[in-house]
Amino acid sequence: MTVVSFVISGLLLGAMIGLSWYGERALPPGARIPLHFGIGAYNNFAAKTTGLIVWPAAGVAIFALLAAVSAGAVKANHGGSPRVVLIILPIVLAVTAVAQWGAISLARRNVTSGPGQ
C-alpha cells in the first residue's frame, strides 16, 4: 500500500513540476497565476514565477506528509488507520494538480482576453 501511494504521488508531483514548466513556456512574463490557499484567499493572483513555484511547493508539502505518515513519524492516536491517510493523500495531491492546471488555464485565458486585446 505504501509503495503504491509513493509511486502515484511521485507521478503526480512530477506532473505538477511539468505543469509549472509548461506554464513557464506558455505564459508571457506579465501573466498572473491565481492562488486560492487559505481562508479569504480566493482570487489572489501572484506573479508568474511565484505562482508557478507555489503550486509544486504545495505538492512537495503533501508528499512530505505522505512520507512522514508512512515512516511512522506521524502517529495515529485516534480510532482511524494510517492506511486511510495513505489513500487520501494521493487523492489530495491529484486535486492539487488539477487545481494547478486550472490556475494555469485561467492565467492563459486572462492574458489572451485581457484589456486591450
Strands (E) in 3-115, as ranges, are: 32-35, 44-47
pTM for this entry: 0.79
- Residues 32-72: tens digit of each pLDDT: 998 876 666 566 888 999 999 999 999 999 888 877 777 66
**Which residues are CB-neighbours of 16 under 8 A, at least 6 positions away?**
55, 56, 59, 96, 97, 100
Q: What is the reported pLDDT for 6?
A: 82
- Residues 59-111: tens digit of each pLDDT: 999 888 877 777 665 555 555 566 666 788 889 899 999 999 998 998 888 87
70: closest CA among 95, 116, 14, 62? 62
| Confidence category of residue 117, pLDDT binned at 50, 70, 90 | very low
> What is the C-alpha end-to-end distance of the chain, expressed in Å?
51
Q: Which helix (H) or strand (E) holds 21?
A: helix 2-26
